Homo-oligomer: A and B are copies of this chain.
Protein backbone atom coordinates (compact mmCIF):
# COMPACT_ATOMS: atom_id res chain seq x y z
CA UNK A 1 0.00 0.00 0.00
CA UNK A 2 2.85 2.37 0.83
CA UNK A 3 4.26 2.05 -2.68
CA UNK A 4 0.87 2.54 -4.31
CA UNK A 5 0.32 5.61 -2.21
CA UNK A 6 3.54 7.23 -3.34
CA UNK A 7 2.63 6.60 -6.96
CA UNK A 8 -0.81 8.09 -6.47
CA UNK A 9 0.61 11.04 -4.72
CA UNK A 10 3.03 11.60 -7.56
CA UNK A 11 0.25 11.50 -10.07
CA UNK A 12 -1.92 13.82 -8.09
CA UNK A 13 0.87 16.31 -7.83
CA UNK A 14 1.45 16.01 -11.57
CA UNK A 15 -2.17 16.67 -12.47
CA UNK A 16 -3.00 20.28 -13.12
CA UNK A 17 -5.20 21.40 -10.22
CA UNK A 18 -6.88 24.16 -12.13
CA UNK A 19 -9.25 26.55 -10.42
CA UNK A 20 -12.62 26.78 -12.12
CA UNK A 21 -11.95 29.65 -14.48
CA UNK A 22 -15.47 30.46 -15.57
CA UNK A 23 -16.78 32.24 -12.49
CA UNK A 24 -14.53 35.13 -11.42
CA UNK A 25 -13.70 34.55 -7.79
CA UNK A 26 -11.60 36.26 -5.14
CA UNK A 27 -8.57 34.14 -4.23
CA UNK A 28 -9.05 31.36 -1.70
CA UNK A 29 -7.22 32.79 1.27
CA UNK A 30 -6.70 32.26 4.96
CA UNK A 31 -8.41 35.15 6.69
CA UNK A 32 -7.00 36.86 9.76
CA UNK A 33 -8.71 39.21 12.17
CA UNK A 34 -6.64 42.42 12.14
CA UNK A 35 -7.61 43.37 15.70
CA UNK A 36 -7.93 41.65 19.04
CA UNK A 37 -11.31 40.12 19.81
CA UNK A 38 -13.65 42.32 21.82
CA UNK A 39 -13.87 41.60 25.56
CA UNK A 40 -17.54 42.17 26.39
CA UNK A 41 -17.19 41.27 30.07
CA UNK A 42 -14.33 41.68 32.53
CA UNK A 43 -11.73 39.01 33.28
CA UNK A 44 -13.35 38.64 36.70
CA UNK A 45 -16.66 37.83 35.05
CA UNK A 46 -14.99 35.27 32.80
CA UNK A 47 -13.48 33.74 35.93
CA UNK A 48 -16.89 33.66 37.60
CA UNK A 49 -18.35 31.67 34.70
CA UNK A 50 -15.29 29.42 34.60
CA UNK A 51 -15.42 28.72 38.33
CA UNK A 52 -19.15 28.04 38.30
CA UNK A 53 -18.66 25.56 35.43
CA UNK A 54 -15.91 23.71 37.26
CA UNK A 55 -18.03 23.61 40.43
CA UNK A 56 -20.87 22.16 38.37
CA UNK A 57 -18.63 19.45 36.91
CA UNK A 58 -17.17 18.67 40.35
CA UNK A 59 -20.41 18.57 42.35
CA UNK A 60 -23.34 17.92 40.03
CA UNK A 61 -21.34 16.10 37.37
CA UNK A 62 -22.51 15.02 33.94
CA UNK A 63 -24.28 11.92 32.61
CA UNK A 64 -22.05 9.76 30.45
CA UNK A 65 -24.14 7.06 28.78
CA UNK A 66 -21.36 5.08 27.07
CA UNK A 67 -19.69 2.47 29.33
CA UNK A 68 -16.40 2.69 27.46
CA UNK A 69 -16.30 6.46 27.94
CA UNK A 70 -16.83 6.12 31.70
CA UNK A 71 -14.03 3.57 31.83
CA UNK A 72 -11.67 5.97 30.06
CA UNK A 73 -12.74 8.74 32.44
CA UNK A 74 -12.21 6.55 35.53
CA UNK A 75 -8.76 5.61 34.31
CA UNK A 76 -7.93 9.30 33.77
CA UNK A 77 -8.89 10.11 37.37
CA UNK A 78 -12.51 11.24 37.13
CA UNK A 79 -14.98 10.39 39.90
CA UNK A 80 -16.90 7.45 38.37
CA UNK A 81 -19.05 5.49 40.81
CA UNK A 82 -20.16 1.88 40.40
CA UNK A 83 -23.61 1.52 38.91
CA UNK A 84 -23.86 5.24 38.19
CA UNK A 85 -23.76 6.96 34.82
CA UNK A 86 -23.03 10.30 36.52
CA UNK A 87 -19.37 11.32 36.33
CA UNK A 88 -17.76 14.11 38.34
CA UNK A 89 -14.47 15.84 37.62
CA UNK A 90 -12.00 17.52 39.90
CA UNK A 91 -11.33 21.11 38.69
CA UNK A 92 -7.58 20.50 38.50
CA UNK A 93 -8.14 17.40 36.34
CA UNK A 94 -10.18 19.43 33.86
CA UNK A 95 -7.58 22.19 33.76
CA UNK A 96 -4.71 19.75 33.23
CA UNK A 97 -6.49 17.99 30.39
CA UNK A 98 -7.64 21.18 28.64
CA UNK A 99 -4.04 22.40 28.65
CA UNK A 100 -3.04 19.40 26.49
CA UNK A 101 -5.12 20.58 23.52
CA UNK A 102 -3.25 22.54 20.83
CA UNK A 103 -4.07 26.23 20.60
CA UNK A 104 -3.71 26.18 16.81
CA UNK A 105 -3.80 23.49 14.16
CA UNK A 106 -4.07 23.01 10.42
CA UNK A 107 -6.99 21.23 8.83
CA UNK A 108 -5.91 19.68 5.55
CA UNK A 109 -8.00 19.57 2.43
CA UNK A 110 -7.31 17.08 -0.36
CA UNK A 111 -6.40 20.13 -2.46
CA UNK A 112 -3.54 21.54 -0.40
CA UNK A 113 -4.44 25.05 -1.54
CA UNK A 114 -7.61 24.66 0.52
CA UNK A 115 -5.87 23.69 3.77
CA UNK A 116 -6.84 26.10 6.55
CA UNK A 117 -5.70 27.07 10.02
CA UNK A 118 -7.74 27.28 13.20
CA UNK A 119 -6.75 29.25 16.28
CA UNK A 120 -5.07 32.57 17.00
CA UNK A 121 -6.37 35.31 14.74
CA UNK A 122 -7.32 32.94 11.91
CA UNK A 123 -10.87 33.02 10.55
CA UNK A 124 -12.52 30.42 8.31
CA UNK A 125 -16.04 30.15 6.96
CA UNK A 126 -18.01 26.95 6.28
CA UNK A 127 -21.13 26.10 4.29
CA UNK A 128 -24.37 25.45 6.16
CA UNK A 129 -24.94 21.95 7.55
CA UNK A 130 -27.63 19.53 8.64
CA UNK A 131 -30.84 21.16 7.42
CA UNK A 132 -33.73 18.69 7.11
CA UNK A 133 -35.27 20.86 4.37
CA UNK A 134 -34.18 23.06 1.54
CA UNK A 135 -35.84 25.71 -0.60
CA UNK A 136 -35.66 28.09 -3.48
CA UNK A 137 -38.30 30.58 -4.57
CA UNK A 138 -39.07 28.74 -7.83
CA UNK A 139 -39.97 25.39 -6.28
CA UNK A 140 -40.56 26.24 -2.65
CA UNK A 141 -39.64 24.20 0.39
CA UNK A 142 -38.98 20.47 0.19
CA UNK A 143 -37.47 17.65 2.23
CA UNK A 144 -33.73 17.22 1.88
CA UNK A 145 -32.64 14.99 -1.01
CA UNK A 146 -29.51 14.00 -2.88
CA UNK A 147 -30.01 16.30 -5.85
CA UNK A 148 -30.19 19.41 -3.69
CA UNK A 149 -27.45 18.07 -1.42
CA UNK A 150 -25.13 17.87 -4.40
CA UNK A 151 -26.12 21.29 -5.71
CA UNK A 152 -25.27 22.91 -2.40
CA UNK A 153 -21.89 21.16 -2.35
CA UNK A 154 -21.27 22.50 -5.86
CA UNK A 155 -22.13 26.05 -4.76
CA UNK A 156 -19.85 25.64 -1.76
CA UNK A 157 -17.00 24.42 -3.96
CA UNK A 158 -17.38 27.29 -6.43
CA UNK A 159 -17.11 30.08 -3.89
CA UNK A 160 -13.67 30.67 -2.46
CA UNK A 161 -15.00 32.57 0.54
CA UNK A 162 -16.33 29.24 1.82
CA UNK A 163 -13.26 27.56 3.26
CA UNK A 164 -14.74 24.25 4.31
CA UNK A 165 -17.88 22.13 4.26
CA UNK A 166 -19.58 22.09 7.64
CA UNK A 167 -21.36 18.78 6.98
CA UNK A 168 -24.31 17.91 4.76
CA UNK A 169 -25.86 21.27 3.73
CA UNK A 170 -29.16 19.45 3.58
CA UNK A 171 -29.84 15.91 4.80
CA UNK A 172 -30.49 13.69 1.76
CA UNK A 173 -33.18 11.52 3.34
CA UNK A 174 -33.85 9.82 0.01
CA UNK A 175 -30.68 7.81 0.68
CA UNK A 176 -31.12 5.03 3.24
CA UNK A 177 -29.55 5.94 6.58
CA UNK A 178 -27.34 2.83 6.58
CA UNK A 179 -25.43 3.96 3.48
CA UNK A 180 -26.10 7.71 3.46
CA UNK A 181 -22.72 8.55 4.98
CA UNK A 182 -20.96 6.57 2.21
CA UNK A 183 -22.66 8.46 -0.61
CA UNK A 184 -22.45 11.80 1.15
CA UNK A 185 -18.76 11.58 2.02
CA UNK A 186 -18.08 10.32 -1.48
CA UNK A 187 -19.75 13.48 -2.82
CA UNK A 188 -17.86 15.67 -0.36
CA UNK A 189 -14.63 14.21 -1.72
CA UNK A 190 -15.47 14.26 -5.43
CA UNK A 191 -17.68 17.34 -5.88
CA UNK A 192 -15.47 19.50 -3.67
CA UNK A 193 -11.79 19.56 -2.78
CA UNK A 194 -12.22 21.41 0.50
CA UNK A 195 -12.07 19.87 3.95
CA UNK A 196 -15.28 18.76 5.64
CA UNK A 197 -17.17 17.76 8.73
CA UNK A 198 -18.32 14.16 9.13
CA UNK A 199 -21.08 13.05 11.49
CA UNK A 200 -19.94 11.18 14.58
CA UNK A 201 -22.91 8.82 14.66
CA UNK A 202 -21.24 5.77 16.14
CA UNK A 203 -17.98 3.96 15.53
CA UNK A 204 -18.84 2.36 12.16
CA UNK A 205 -19.60 5.59 10.37
CA UNK A 206 -16.56 7.35 11.78
CA UNK A 207 -14.35 4.41 10.73
CA UNK A 208 -15.78 4.63 7.20
CA UNK A 209 -15.22 8.40 7.14
CA UNK A 210 -11.63 7.98 8.26
CA UNK A 211 -10.95 5.36 5.61
CA UNK A 212 -12.55 7.40 2.82
CA UNK A 213 -10.67 10.52 3.88
CA UNK A 214 -7.41 8.57 4.09
CA UNK A 215 -7.99 7.36 0.52
CA UNK A 216 -8.84 10.87 -0.69
CA UNK A 217 -5.64 12.26 0.77
CA UNK A 218 -3.50 9.34 -0.39
CA UNK A 219 -2.14 8.71 3.11
CA UNK A 220 -1.31 5.67 5.18
CA UNK A 221 -3.23 5.30 8.45
CA UNK A 222 -0.03 6.17 10.33
CA UNK A 223 0.40 9.39 8.35
CA UNK A 224 -3.18 10.40 8.89
CA UNK A 225 -2.81 10.13 12.67
CA UNK A 226 -0.65 13.23 12.67
CA UNK A 227 -2.65 15.06 10.06
CA UNK A 228 -6.09 16.57 10.62
CA UNK A 229 -8.02 15.99 7.37
CA UNK A 230 -11.63 16.11 8.53
CA UNK A 231 -13.49 17.02 11.69
CA UNK A 232 -16.70 16.39 13.52
CA UNK A 233 -19.12 18.50 15.50
CA UNK A 234 -20.02 16.93 18.84
CA UNK A 235 -23.23 18.33 20.28
CA UNK A 236 -23.75 17.51 23.93
CA UNK A 237 -27.28 16.63 24.98
CA UNK A 238 -27.92 19.67 27.10
CA UNK A 239 -28.36 19.82 29.97
CA UNK A 240 -25.47 17.72 31.19
CA UNK A 241 -25.60 14.60 29.05
CA UNK A 242 -23.08 12.99 26.71
CA UNK A 243 -24.83 10.35 24.61
CA UNK A 244 -23.48 7.07 23.20
CA UNK A 245 -22.99 7.63 19.45
CA UNK A 246 -21.34 11.00 20.02
CA UNK A 247 -18.92 9.60 22.59
CA UNK A 248 -18.10 6.69 20.31
CA UNK A 249 -17.39 9.29 17.68
CA UNK A 250 -15.08 11.28 19.95
CA UNK A 251 -13.12 8.12 20.78
CA UNK A 252 -12.73 7.11 17.14
CA UNK A 253 -11.76 10.63 16.01
CA UNK A 254 -9.40 11.33 18.90
CA UNK A 255 -7.63 8.01 18.38
CA UNK A 256 -6.91 9.17 14.82
CA UNK A 257 -5.97 12.69 15.90
CA UNK A 258 -8.85 14.17 13.92
CA UNK A 259 -10.38 17.39 15.36
CA UNK A 260 -13.55 17.43 17.40
CA UNK A 261 -15.61 20.57 17.84
CA UNK A 262 -17.48 20.28 21.12
CA UNK A 263 -20.63 22.39 20.85
CA UNK A 264 -23.31 22.33 23.55
CA UNK A 265 -26.68 23.54 22.25
CA UNK A 266 -27.65 25.58 25.27
CA UNK A 267 -30.81 27.54 24.52
CA UNK A 268 -31.43 29.91 27.42
CA UNK A 269 -34.91 29.29 28.80
CA UNK A 270 -35.17 25.76 27.36
CA UNK A 271 -32.20 23.38 27.78
CA UNK A 272 -30.28 26.01 29.76
CA UNK A 273 -31.04 28.66 32.39
CA UNK A 274 -33.00 31.71 31.24
CA UNK A 275 -30.03 33.97 32.04
CA UNK A 276 -27.24 34.26 29.47
CA UNK A 277 -24.66 33.94 32.25
CA UNK A 278 -26.29 30.70 33.45
CA UNK A 279 -26.55 29.32 29.92
CA UNK A 280 -22.86 30.08 29.46
CA UNK A 281 -22.00 28.26 32.69
CA UNK A 282 -23.77 25.20 31.30
CA UNK A 283 -22.22 25.62 27.84
CA UNK A 284 -18.78 25.92 29.37
CA UNK A 285 -19.16 22.92 31.68
CA UNK A 286 -20.32 20.68 28.85
CA UNK A 287 -17.69 21.94 26.42
CA UNK A 288 -14.92 21.45 28.97
CA UNK A 289 -16.13 17.92 29.78
CA UNK A 290 -16.11 16.97 26.08
CA UNK A 291 -12.76 18.60 25.39
CA UNK A 292 -11.20 16.99 28.48
CA UNK A 293 -12.55 13.62 27.37
CA UNK A 294 -10.93 13.97 23.93
CA UNK A 295 -7.61 14.63 25.69
CA UNK A 296 -8.08 11.55 27.86
CA UNK A 297 -8.47 9.43 24.73
CA UNK A 298 -5.40 10.92 23.06
CA UNK A 299 -3.54 13.88 24.55
CA UNK A 300 -3.02 16.57 21.96
CA UNK A 301 -6.17 15.80 20.00
CA UNK A 302 -7.09 19.01 18.15
CA UNK A 303 -10.30 20.43 19.55
CA UNK A 304 -12.38 23.54 19.00
CA UNK A 305 -14.46 25.18 21.70
CA UNK A 306 -17.97 25.49 20.25
CA UNK A 307 -20.47 28.13 21.36
CA UNK A 308 -24.12 27.90 20.40
CA UNK A 309 -25.88 29.64 23.27
CA UNK A 310 -28.96 31.59 22.22
CA UNK A 311 -32.34 32.40 23.68
CA UNK A 312 -35.87 31.20 23.01
CA UNK A 313 -38.98 33.26 22.40
CA UNK A 314 -40.51 33.09 25.87
CA UNK A 315 -44.01 33.38 24.40
CA UNK A 316 -43.73 30.33 22.12
CA UNK A 317 -40.56 28.49 23.10
CA UNK A 318 -39.25 28.95 19.56
CA UNK A 319 -35.47 29.30 19.30
CA UNK A 320 -34.19 32.75 18.35
CA UNK A 321 -30.91 33.58 16.62
CA UNK A 322 -28.98 36.69 15.74
CA UNK A 323 -30.46 38.37 18.81
CA UNK A 324 -28.66 40.69 21.25
CA UNK A 325 -28.50 37.76 23.67
CA UNK A 326 -26.96 35.53 21.01
CA UNK A 327 -24.34 38.20 20.30
CA UNK A 328 -23.50 38.53 23.98
CA UNK A 329 -23.06 34.77 24.24
CA UNK A 330 -20.85 34.80 21.14
CA UNK A 331 -18.58 37.42 22.69
CA UNK A 332 -18.30 35.77 26.11
CA UNK A 333 -17.95 32.31 24.56
CA UNK A 334 -14.90 33.64 22.74
CA UNK A 335 -13.49 35.06 25.95
CA UNK A 336 -13.85 31.63 27.57
CA UNK A 337 -12.23 29.83 24.62
CA UNK A 338 -9.28 32.23 24.75
CA UNK A 339 -8.98 31.73 28.52
CA UNK A 340 -8.28 28.07 27.66
CA UNK A 341 -6.13 28.87 24.64
CA UNK A 342 -8.53 27.01 22.34
CA UNK A 343 -9.80 27.82 18.84
CA UNK A 344 -13.40 29.05 18.89
CA UNK A 345 -16.37 28.06 16.75
CA UNK A 346 -19.45 30.22 16.19
CA UNK A 347 -22.24 30.34 13.58
CA UNK A 348 -24.10 32.51 11.06
CA UNK A 349 -27.68 31.89 12.08
CA UNK A 350 -31.16 33.40 11.96
CA UNK A 351 -34.76 32.45 12.71
CA UNK A 352 -36.29 34.00 9.57
CA UNK A 353 -38.49 31.90 7.29
CA UNK A 354 -37.50 33.67 4.09
CA UNK A 355 -34.69 35.87 2.78
CA UNK A 356 -36.22 39.16 3.90
CA UNK A 357 -34.68 41.92 5.95
CA UNK A 358 -35.07 39.82 9.12
CA UNK A 359 -32.86 37.09 7.63
CA UNK A 360 -30.29 39.73 6.75
CA UNK A 361 -30.19 41.59 10.04
CA UNK A 362 -30.14 38.43 12.14
CA UNK A 363 -27.34 37.06 9.93
CA UNK A 364 -25.21 40.21 10.11
CA UNK A 365 -25.70 40.46 13.86
CA UNK A 366 -24.45 36.84 14.05
CA UNK A 367 -21.45 37.70 11.90
CA UNK A 368 -20.68 40.75 14.01
CA UNK A 369 -20.83 38.66 17.18
CA UNK A 370 -18.64 36.01 15.58
CA UNK A 371 -15.92 38.35 14.29
CA UNK A 372 -15.84 40.55 17.39
CA UNK A 373 -16.09 37.48 19.60
CA UNK A 374 -12.90 36.00 18.18
CA UNK A 375 -14.43 33.20 16.10
CA UNK A 376 -11.93 31.03 14.24
CA UNK A 377 -14.43 28.60 12.69
CA UNK A 378 -17.75 29.86 11.35
CA UNK A 379 -20.28 27.06 10.94
CA UNK A 380 -23.43 27.55 8.84
CA UNK A 381 -21.77 30.37 6.98
CA UNK A 382 -24.10 30.22 3.96
CA UNK A 383 -27.65 29.03 3.46
CA UNK A 384 -29.19 28.85 6.95
CA UNK A 385 -32.86 29.76 7.41
CA UNK A 386 -35.60 28.86 9.93
CA UNK A 387 -33.34 28.27 12.90
CA UNK A 388 -31.52 25.62 10.89
CA UNK A 389 -34.51 23.70 9.56
CA UNK A 390 -33.94 24.84 5.98
CA UNK A 391 -31.04 25.50 3.64
CA UNK A 392 -32.05 28.11 1.06
CA UNK A 393 -30.46 28.62 -2.35
CA UNK A 394 -31.15 32.35 -2.22
CA UNK A 395 -29.85 32.65 1.34
CA UNK A 396 -26.71 30.81 0.24
CA UNK A 397 -26.00 33.55 -2.30
CA UNK A 398 -26.81 36.36 0.12
CA UNK A 399 -24.58 34.84 2.78
CA UNK A 400 -21.73 34.36 0.32
CA UNK A 401 -22.05 38.08 -0.42
CA UNK A 402 -22.07 38.89 3.31
CA UNK A 403 -19.03 36.68 3.95
CA UNK A 404 -17.18 38.26 1.04
CA UNK A 405 -17.92 41.68 2.55
CA UNK A 406 -16.64 40.59 5.95
CA UNK A 407 -13.60 39.07 4.25
CA UNK A 408 -12.94 42.36 2.45
CA UNK A 409 -13.36 44.26 5.72
CA UNK A 410 -10.70 42.03 7.32
CA UNK A 411 -8.10 42.82 4.64
CA UNK A 412 -5.41 45.21 5.90
CA UNK A 413 -5.88 48.87 4.99
CA UNK A 414 -2.80 50.18 3.23
CA UNK A 415 -1.50 53.60 4.21
CA UNK A 416 1.44 53.69 1.82
CA UNK A 417 2.30 57.11 0.39
CA UNK A 418 0.56 56.07 -2.80
CA UNK A 419 -2.58 55.25 -0.88
CA UNK A 420 -2.48 58.43 1.20
CA UNK A 421 -2.75 60.13 -2.20
CA UNK A 422 -1.42 63.57 -1.24
CA UNK A 423 -0.23 64.19 -4.79
CA UNK A 424 -3.59 63.23 -6.24
CA UNK A 425 -5.44 65.51 -3.81
CA UNK A 426 -3.06 68.34 -4.63
CA UNK A 427 -3.49 67.78 -8.39
CA UNK A 428 -7.28 67.77 -8.19
CA UNK A 429 -7.39 70.75 -5.85
CA UNK A 430 -10.43 72.45 -4.31
CA UNK A 431 -13.81 71.85 -5.98
CA UNK A 432 -12.30 69.27 -8.36
CA UNK A 433 -13.34 65.71 -9.04
CA UNK A 434 -11.29 62.52 -8.68
CA UNK A 435 -13.11 60.31 -11.16
CA UNK A 436 -10.94 60.99 -14.19
CA UNK A 437 -7.57 61.31 -12.47
CA UNK A 438 -4.68 58.98 -13.18
CA UNK A 439 -4.61 57.93 -9.51
CA UNK A 440 -8.22 56.78 -9.83
CA UNK A 441 -7.92 55.28 -13.30
CA UNK A 442 -4.99 53.13 -12.21
CA UNK A 443 -6.91 51.69 -9.29
CA UNK A 444 -10.65 51.80 -9.89
CA UNK A 445 -11.07 48.22 -11.13
CA UNK A 446 -10.05 46.62 -7.85
CA UNK A 447 -10.44 49.56 -5.49
CA UNK A 448 -13.70 48.40 -3.93
CA UNK A 449 -15.58 45.21 -3.22
CA UNK A 450 -18.05 44.52 -5.98
CA UNK A 451 -21.13 42.97 -4.37
CA UNK A 452 -23.13 40.08 -5.82
CA UNK A 453 -26.56 41.28 -4.78
CA UNK A 454 -26.54 44.93 -3.80
CA UNK A 455 -28.46 47.06 -6.27
CA UNK A 456 -26.98 50.56 -6.23
CA UNK A 457 -28.98 52.00 -9.12
CA UNK A 458 -30.94 55.12 -8.36
CA UNK A 459 -34.61 54.74 -7.47
CA UNK A 460 -35.96 55.74 -10.88
CA UNK A 461 -33.77 53.29 -12.82
CA UNK A 462 -34.45 50.53 -10.30
CA UNK A 463 -38.19 51.25 -10.40
CA UNK A 464 -38.26 51.13 -14.21
CA UNK A 465 -36.44 47.80 -14.05
CA UNK A 466 -39.38 46.38 -12.08
CA UNK A 467 -38.17 47.11 -8.51
CA UNK A 468 -36.29 43.82 -8.07
CA UNK A 469 -35.64 42.93 -4.44
CA UNK A 470 -32.54 41.13 -3.21
CA UNK A 471 -34.12 37.67 -2.98
CA UNK A 472 -35.10 37.86 -6.66
CA UNK A 473 -31.59 38.83 -7.66
CA UNK A 474 -30.22 35.97 -5.52
CA UNK A 475 -32.54 33.55 -7.31
CA UNK A 476 -31.11 34.51 -10.67
CA UNK A 477 -27.54 34.36 -9.40
CA UNK A 478 -27.54 30.84 -7.93
CA UNK A 479 -28.95 29.37 -11.12
CA UNK A 480 -26.41 31.18 -13.31
CA UNK A 481 -23.55 30.16 -11.06
CA UNK A 482 -24.57 26.54 -10.60
CA UNK A 483 -24.69 26.18 -14.38
CA UNK A 484 -20.98 27.09 -14.45
CA UNK A 485 -19.89 24.46 -11.93
CA UNK A 486 -16.83 22.40 -12.81
CA UNK A 487 -15.87 19.33 -10.80
CA UNK A 488 -12.44 19.73 -9.20
CA UNK A 489 -9.77 17.34 -10.52
CA UNK A 490 -9.29 14.04 -8.65
CA UNK A 491 -6.67 11.42 -9.39
CA UNK A 492 -8.34 8.49 -11.17
CA UNK A 493 -6.69 5.88 -8.94
CA UNK A 494 -7.97 7.64 -5.83
CA UNK A 495 -11.43 7.86 -7.32
CA UNK A 496 -11.36 4.14 -8.15
CA UNK A 497 -10.19 3.17 -4.68
CA UNK A 498 -12.86 5.37 -3.12
CA UNK A 499 -15.62 3.91 -5.29
CA UNK A 500 -14.44 0.37 -4.59
CA UNK A 501 -14.56 1.03 -0.86
CA UNK A 502 -18.05 2.51 -1.06
CA UNK A 503 -19.26 -0.44 -3.16
CA UNK A 504 -17.78 -2.92 -0.70
CA UNK A 505 -19.34 -1.22 2.32
CA UNK A 506 -22.71 -1.02 0.60
CA UNK A 507 -22.52 -4.76 -0.13
CA UNK A 508 -21.88 -5.28 3.57
CA UNK A 509 -25.05 -3.34 4.34
CA UNK A 510 -23.46 -0.08 5.45
CA UNK A 511 -23.73 0.99 9.09
CA UNK A 512 -26.23 0.20 11.83
CA UNK A 513 -29.27 2.48 11.94
CA UNK A 514 -30.24 1.87 15.55
CA UNK A 515 -28.20 4.71 16.99
Interface residues of A (CB under 8 A from B): 34-35, 38-41, 45, 48-49, 52, 55-56, 59-60, 62-63, 86, 133, 141, 237, 239-241, 268-278, 281-282, 311, 313-314, 316-320, 323-325, 327-328, 332, 351-365, 368, 372, 386, 389-390, 398, 401-402, 405-406, 408-409, 412-416, 418-422, 424-426, 428-435, 439-440, 443-445, 447-449, 451, 453-459, 462-463, 467, 469-471
Contact = CB atoms under 8 A, between A and B. Distances in A.
Contacts of A237: 431
Contact of A463 (B317, B353, B357): B353
A431 B63 contact: yes
A61 B241 CA distance: 69
A268 B415 contact: no
CB-CB nearest 8 A-B residue pairs: A278-B421, A360-B360, A357-B360, A273-B421, A324-B408, A364-B364, A240-B430, A356-B469
11 contacts: A38-B372, A60-B426, A239-B428, A239-B432, A275-B421, A314-B448, A320-B454, A324-B406, A356-B360, A358-B470, A368-B368
Contact of A269 (B405, B434, B459, B467): B434
Nearest to A45: B415
Contacts of A445: 314
A324 B449 contact: yes
Contacts of A358: 360, 453-455, 469-470
A395 B444 CA distance: 32
A60 B324 contact: no
A420 B52 contact: yes
A458 B318 contact: yes
B281 A425 contact: yes
A431 B243 CA distance: 11
This chain's copy number in the assembly: 2
Nearest to A133: B459
Which of A316, A415, A424, A471 has the largest count of B CB atoms less than 10 A from its CB? A415
Given A39-B35, A268-B447, A440 B353 contact: no
Contacts of A278: 419-422, 424-425, 439
B48 A273 contact: no
A262 B391 CA distance: 46
Contacts of A416: 277
